[in-house]
Amino acid sequence: MWKAIPLVLLTLLAVPRADAAKSACPVLLVSGTGDHDGINVTFRNIGKLPIRRMEFNCRPLHAQTGRAQLGHCSEPNASFVPRTEFTVSYPYPGGKPGPLLVSLKSVMFSDGHTFKPSKRDPCRVLKITPPRAK
């Protein structure tokens, strides 16, 4: 019986570490594509509640930081149910095609709770590059 105790303690100590490795981000950015009109962002709600509002940061890849460079990429009145994949479309910031970085800015759930990514709970970032003009 005493030999089993260290094994049980080791198992109990390992469980929180495995949990800590998972991100708390409720949205998985699956993919992003660009065309001549704008971008398409495919994501999955991996949370437990429907998403009512969602905002993305859509920043040109080589732009200076600042609000003027951010694109308006949000879904102000949505109903994204859990465990489902969705695709949303947005125009390019400033109307000019170019490479973008897209990241989650905030999510509001149906119960009113809001999630914002942080260093502790980061979310995936997508790099979207439009096809070259022929």
pLDDT in tens, 15-68: 443 333 456 899 999 999 999 889 999 999 999 999 999 999 999 987 655 555
Length of the chain counted residue by residue: 134
- What is the average per-residue pLDDT within 71-86? 93
pTM flag (> 0.85): no
Going 97 to 99 to 104 to 109, the CA torsion angle's sign is: positive
The answer for residues whose C-beta is within 8 angstroms of residue 33's C-beta and 6 or more apart is: 39, 40, 128
- Domain positions in the chain are 24-128
CATH number of 24-128: 2.60.40
Question: What's the rounded Cα separation, in Å, for the pair 80 and 66?
Answer: 29
